[in-house]
Amino acid sequence: MDTNITRQAYDQNSQQGLAAMKEFMEVETQKPMELTTELLLKLLQDNKDTEYGKRYDFASIHSIEDYQKKVPVVVYDDLAPYLERMMAGEKNLLTAYRYDHFNETSGTVGVPKVVPMTDEQSQVFAKYNNLHMYGIIRDKVDPDWMNGRGFCTSSGNCRTLPSGLTVGEASAKMADYIKGGKDAFDAMIRTLYTSPLEGLNPAAGADTKYIHTRFALMDREVRGMVTGFYSVIVLFLRYIEDNIELLINDIEKGTISENVDLPDEVRESLLKKIEPMPERAAELREIFKDGTDIQWVPKVWPHFTYITGAGGDGFEVYDKVIKQHFTGEGITNIYSGITASEGLWSVPAGINDFDSILAPCAAFVEFQPVEAGDDFSKCVTMDKLEVGKIYELIITNLSGFWRYRMSDAVIVTGFHNKTPKVQFMYRVNRTINLAEEKTTEKALQFAVEKTCQEMGIDLADFTVYPNTDVTPNRYDFLIEPMHEITKFDMAALKESIFKNLCEANPVYHDCYADNWLAKPEVFFLQPETSLLYRDMMVYRGASMNQLKPVRVIMNEKQRKFFLSLRQEMEE
């Protein structure tokens, strides 16, 4: 790949991004209420003649207060009948905006859901996701980042409905919008990223991990990694470790091993894009000659400098694993803001910063104090937010979701100019309440991370089982270390978890004192258990890029799986 072309492309893209990012940071954040009110009133005006707009009389709404009085807070089931009709081809139901595709959510908090991808909503994603991110990279990272491509892990597919509309991952549609179609899109993405189109929009049965990692390893000049979730990065880097010999052999010979799952036409098409690279193979062989137990990323890609993706939002464990085992320190992280298939609510506040800044022009967001439960009269706008308080997000997006309950809870961490900064806290309906004490995933994570730090455990992953088979109920922590542990002071470990859980959630301690909850139990999982779980989910058809970690065991299958893979301990 000609690095001059890559540099030019990044230069142009990030120049635009820098302008967008500066406008956001310097202008939009100075008058968030004015801008977000303007957005809401425009959305109401534009959509007043939709079925939903007529039902709730959007035409008569002229203020936020009117909106809150007249339009109810809804959940997905309330919108589902409209969405089914929209997928069948009916127009003007929830939105008047044009769309030809529905994003499908990961179904992390239930069954998969669909969200119409209107032109307006995709512009929001483009501006506040892509452009903003490259603006930050341009502003904060050494300009050398432009001299090489990114290692991209995305893969997306979509299916066409009888109505002619499509549903699936939005990335699968991009080639349709580019003049020149798939070939032009392939050339375009390969200027910026190492992966070819066959990896980004894979055919059924194609091993996307092989495609992405093979093409990334071929390129010594990779500068960074672009991903959805940081857990996916771990998955890809572990894949390289597990398959390093096969990958190097293929790179050396310019072949693709018969052991790699690829439909014939994909194999044929990929072979046209590769050639033997004996020198690169020799270099990789030298790096891995003593195994993979080294921080090998900077050796494989000597100019590797940035990672972007969701690294907060419950993924902090993987952020640490990446640093400790693969990259070492010194990599710049740009953690995504709070975004979902339903829209985007905040953008990164800077580099290596888990805070994100609310984006007033990207959506109209209301904030329900979590202690208010379902009493939506307590819902406030962003000018009323208090630092340190936790709120559930109620969103109005540009796709026809009106006052939609996202079930995401955020904590307000401060302000950038007049706009609040937030961090994702937990999924509201995934708070666990063995004794009404509201233990959040964040609290569990805090307890595990602090305990591992205190006790010198090299943490790879963890999950927690709310155990109701014992009285009083208790939490069973299943900690997965990077390397096997067969002997440990388990009593001290248990005490440490208990102490840290009480610190993370003082109500837990009250419940313990009142004998409503027992002290937690702690077990070690066998190394690679979480990877095995993900492998199995992918084997059964789950999308690798959308799989989120099992933080709380929710069903019997998961319980049996994780509990049966506990490490045998020596006395």
Site residues, other proteins (CB under 8 A): 242, 245-246, 258-259, 261, 483-484, 525-529, 531-532, 535-536, 539, 557, 560-561, 563-565
Torsion of CA 548, 549, 551, 552, to 10 degrees: 70
Q: Whole-number minimum distance, CB 293 to other proteins, in Å? A: 11
User: What whole-number distance in Å separates Cα of residue 399 and Cα of residue 379?
Assistant: 22
Tokens (6 digits) for 99: 């769309």
| Contacts of 530-539 spanning 24+ positions with Cβ under 8 A | 530/460, 530/461, 530/463, 530/480, 531/235, 531/238, 532/565, 533/561, 533/562, 534/235
List 104's β-bridge partners, or say none: 114
Q: Closer CB to other proteins, residue 12 or residue 259?
A: 259
Q: Whole-number minimum distance, CB 238 to other proteins, in Å? A: 10
Q: Closer CB to other proteins, residue 2 or residue 290?
A: 290
Q: Whole-number minimum distance, CB 218 to other proteins, in Å? A: 21
Q: Closer CB to other proteins, residue 372 or residue 538?
A: 538
- Write the CA distances from 74 to 146, 152, 399, integer angstroms: 44, 36, 14
Q: Closer CB to other proteins, residue 22 or residue 560?
A: 560
Contact 52, 94 (CB under 8 A): yes
User: What whole-number distance in Å separates Cα of residue 188 and Cα of residue 182?
Assistant: 10
Q: Whole-number minimum distance, CB 564 to other proteins, in Å? A: 4
Tell me the chain's radius of gyration from C-alpha atoms. Answer: 24
Amino acid in the structure at residue 527: P
Tokens (6 digits) for 336: 């995504």
User: What whole-number distance in Å separates Cα of residue 53 and Cα of residue 290?
Assistant: 65
Contact 454, 479 (CB under 8 A): no
Tokens 């072949």 correspond to 255
Q: Whole-number minimum distance, CB 151 to other proteins, in Å? A: 22
Q: Closer CB to other proteins, residue 33 or residue 482?
A: 482
Closest by Cα among 322, 318, 361, 353 to 337 = 353
User: What whole-number distance in Å separates Cα of residue 51 and Cα of residue 72?
Assistant: 15
Q: Closer CB to other proteins, residue 513 or residue 536?
A: 536
Q: Closer CB to other proteins, residue 269 or residue 526?
A: 526
Q: Closer CB to other proteins, residue 289 or residue 483?
A: 483
